[in-house]
Structure 1
Amino acid sequence: MDYFCATAVILHSVYLCCVRTVGLQHPSVASAFGAMLLLLLTGHISYLSLVHFDYGYNMMANVAIGLVNLAWWLVWCLRNRRRLPHTRRCMVVVVLLQGLSLLELLDFPPLFWVLDAHALWHVSTIPVHTLFFRFLEDDSLYLLKESGAMFKLD
């Protein structure tokens, strides 16, 4: 379940980026993209569960999806950084998560026979997800304010 949830979280972040970049103007495009990501996740989980559990394939797939996530969010953040100052949080989050993913890729023996790379990965991501939630919260408040101004009646 840990591997499947990791893939789902990364794909969900890709979906959120799609919604933020395309979906507000074209919700049907975001919905179709979301359906495609759901099919991709279903195929990934089915292959690993029913055909062959290949740890190497799973890691390669997650790294590839993670790099797409990193690139897409960074491009969006860089394009909007002057207008939306809260994008700094998003940039920090995606760069930190990509860097921390090295704990998953560069496994090492447990420190003090307790803390292995996987455990450190999980502990280190807690504050990063809190920061990402703060970005999403600020961005949602910005969008609400923007839509309120758009529909404001004199």
Structure 2
Amino acid sequence: MRHPLRLISLAALLACAYASAGDRSSQFQRCVAKCESTTCDTFNPPPLMRLTRWTCTDNCKYTCMHAISDFSVESGLPLQQYYGKWPFWRFAGAQEPASVVFSLLNLLFHVWGRGEVQEAMSNDHPMKRYYLTWSVISINAWIWSAVFHTRDTPITEKLDYFSAALAIMYSLYFSVIRLFHLYPVRKRNPLSGASRSVDKPFLFYVWTAACTFVYVAHVSYLSLALRFDYTYNIIFGLVLGMTHNVLWLAYALPASLSLFRRFATQPKSYRPFYANEAAKAVILTTAATCLELFDFPPWKRIIDAHSLWHLATAPLVVLWYDFLLMDAQDKGWKEHRV
């Protein structure tokens, strides 16, 4: 009778586990407690695990998570999440190696894009400084994304989220400057050839102050709140991202439906031939983001929807840089140089 009783006990434990998150199950908690009591006195992790700050407790949680997940797979039961994440096989100390690799891929494309902007755009182009700054901010965001997916801690989580929010905010910031012509320019007299500087419009300073205030308030709220407000953080990013996308979709509208002048020196009806590229970039970016909505257990405990999202955004970086460079080289900029 011992085996049937053991199965009944195990079934009860699994029922409890599936009634709540995996890390809240008594089975998981007992496993971790036993692991800590039997292994922590002699815990000696390899160098890469020491480098990525794996403690004995962390390792016990990882071991128990996969032990329970192994049983679930063998029994045909669904995998459970632990601490808000699916179970992943770690590699070289990284908790989510696929997301780390794909984050670094995005980083490399931004490094490439920065080089393209530096080479293709003249130094007196009014948008060059903004695109170069955007590339640096994006590189920083993907660095912290890779760090966060290597080791999920409260500090790396905040650095990842805050860096991502800054990248989204700055994308909207320079888009408004570009589309509503808030950049500084130097106008040339067609007769004399002389040029005169034109200061940045007052709205530039208002927009800069507003973006700075919103971002500082965003970081302050999430940093000072008793608990990290994940729902608010998601809504904040979505609102900024959707606003950015709507602006570039407006840029891509047919000439007969133009809502604003795409170039300050061109009529409202002027629509460059590559305008559809903006719509393509927006649509594909939105489609890639939808991967976040289709959460599913990781394939082979390696690839999940979130990592696929990071993979999908990598080629879109190239698409955005290509579009921005085509736009920067348009004839509409000929009389607009800093």
For the aligned pair, the TM-score class normalised by the smaller chain equals 0.7 to 0.9
Q: Which residue of 1 aligns with 2:220?
A: 46
Q: Which residue of 1 aligns with 2:332?
A: 146
Is the CA contact 1:15–1:30 (under 8 Å) kept in the aligned structure 2? no
Structure 1 position 87 matched with structure 2 position 275 = yes
Quick one: which of 144, 153, 173 aligns to 1:15?
173
Quick one: which of 191, 194, 211 aligns to 1:37?
211
Quick one: which of 77, 102, 105 aligns to 2:290?
102
| 1:80-112 deviation digits (Å, cap 9, x = unpaired) | 596212222211111111221122233222122
Amino acid at match of 1:30: F
The 2-side partners of 1:9 and 1:146 are apart by 27
Once the two structures are aligned, what percentage of the paired residues are identical? 32
Is the CA contact 2:251–2:278 (under 8 Å) kept in the aligned structure 1? no
Bigger Cα Rg: 2
Is the CA contact 1:108–1:117 (under 8 Å) kept in the aligned structure 2? yes
The 2-side partners of 1:73 and 1:27 are apart by 22
Is the CA contact 1:66–1:98 (under 8 Å) kept in the aligned structure 2? no
Give ranges in structure 1 of 5+ residues lacking alignment.
none
Is the CA contact 1:93–1:128 (under 8 Å) kept in the aligned structure 2? yes
Q: State how 1:117-136 maps to structure 2 within 5 Å.
A: 117-136=305-324
Between 1:75-84 and 1:46-55, the stretch displaced more is 75-84
TM-score (norm 1): 0.83
The 2-side partners of 1:97 and 1:147 are apart by 27
SS in 2 for 1:101: helix
- Please report the RMSD computed on the Cα atoms of aligned residues, expressed in angstroms: 2.2
Give ranges in structure 2 of 5+ residues lacking alignment.
1-158, 185-199, 263-268
Is the CA contact 2:171–2:244 (under 8 Å) kept in the aligned structure 1? yes
